[in-house]
Structure 1
């Protein structure tokens, strides 16, 4: 007959001896603990690196905004090109497009998941500089409008519809006629080691876009002008198109890839 009491007592004594036993093999303990410590250290370093790179991008953004706010001369394409090169230098990235492989998980109708890969040409760092003006219309109302916008890398010039839908709530209050410089950057960051997340628990960490933006007022003048941009034509175009909320200030359709210059159709 099975003696349950004796078995229970024997198990308790055995567990007690195991808990008090201090003997062991250092090699076995190191083989178990060292990979765990290395994994935790690597994960902490990766998380620290992404926050560090985000801070680097934000500081570079502030530097560009401060530089633009001190300009009193008209800006041009060469100025923006050199600013883009400076951004790449500050963030330790490049200005030329690179090949990038994107993996996407697709689930079919049977619930079976598969990974599809696609190779694209993209930029490590992108930049967009936009001057936003609080325009006083003929009827006495005010509205924020894109005075001019320039983009480099994978970004496109900002349109009025994009401004009103994504940035109107973020832009600080301005008086009629005031301008603010909006600087945006987007950096593609790839971790040295990928951190695999736990489903419904801890998130992983892989490739991501690090975006920054900042607003800066002109310091030494009341406006930041673009070379060849006629302020009078600009205001007239805004007043004439004030009844169309979906169009750009140059009278074109809502297309972010269209340059926001009301007085010219192409770059001169």
Structure 2
């Protein structure tokens, strides 16, 4: 019986650590997703002007909702679809953190397959978030550190103040 216990206990502990590690990773991914959806929803309902301080407040909200000490980044962009040109144009883009650069008319072409079909001159809010995650335990396979990235899109809900480019982004 003691020989069996010596053989089983390491496997039992490894199983518990692995289960906790996967649970923690999925929990962190869900937090990141909820934060991205919350920011997109808040922006889509905004009636007042969106400025640089507003975007910084959304970034602070993201950090608060993720509740992790890891580095987080966010980019909020406002794009328009032009049917005659068959392409998206970036009306404005603001980024916070170190992971993103400003989205431009040239770089938005890479997102054409990720943005849903839009009517001519329709607009879309894009929220991209990144959370650098480190596993609590090394479980023996896979990278111990990786980025959790989310890409959320939503349309403005009838208010047009968001269309104006925020100053100071």
- TM-score by length of structure 1 reads 0.58
Aligned: 1:83 with 2:58 = yes
List aligned pairs for 1:97-108, cutoff 5 A: none
Q: Tell me if structure 2 keeps the 8 A contact 1:65–1:214.
A: yes
Higher helix share: 2
Query: How far is 1:225 from its partner?
Result: 2.5
Query: How far is 1:126 from its partner?
Result: 0.3
Residue 156 of structure 1 aligns with which residue? 101
Query: How far is 1:220 from its partner?
Result: 2.8
SS in 1 for 2:42: helix
Q: Tell me if structure 1 keeps the 8 A contact 2:87–2:109.
A: no
Structure 1, residues 13-72: CA drift from partner, whole Å, max 9, x if none? xxxxxxxxxxxxx33332221111000121122122212211111111111100000012
Distance 1:70 1:60, change over 3 A: same
Residue 132 of structure 2 aligns with which residue? 188
Residue 131 of structure 1 aligns with which residue? 78
Match of 2:7 among 32, 45, 50: 32
Structure 2 residue runs of 5 or longer lacking an equivalent are none
Structure 1 residue runs of 5 or longer lacking an equivalent are 1-25, 95-122, 198-203, 230-266
Structure 1, residues 214-267: CA drift from partner, whole Å, max 9, x if none? 1100013256223567xxxxxxxxxxxxxxxxxxxxxxxxxxxxxxxxxxxxx3
Residue 212 of structure 1 aligns with which residue? 150
Relative contact order: is structure 1 or structure 2 higher (C-alpha 8 Å, sep ≥ 6)?
2
SS in 2 for 1:160: coil
Q: Tell me if structure 1 keeps the 8 A contact 2:128–2:151.
A: yes
SS in 1 for 2:74: strand
Match of 2:18 among 30, 43, 46: 43
Distance 1:143 1:222, change over 3 A: farther
Q: Which entry has the higher C-alpha Rg, 1 or 2?
A: 1
- TM-score by length of structure 2 reads 0.90
Distance 1:228 1:217, change over 3 A: closer
SS in 2 for 1:71: coil
User: What is the rounded CA distance, in whole Å, between the counterparts of 2:166 and 2:16 in structure 1?
Assistant: 55
User: What is the rounded CA distance, in whole Å, between the counterparts of 1:44 and 1:34 in structure 2?
Assistant: 15
Q: CA RMSD in A?
A: 2.0
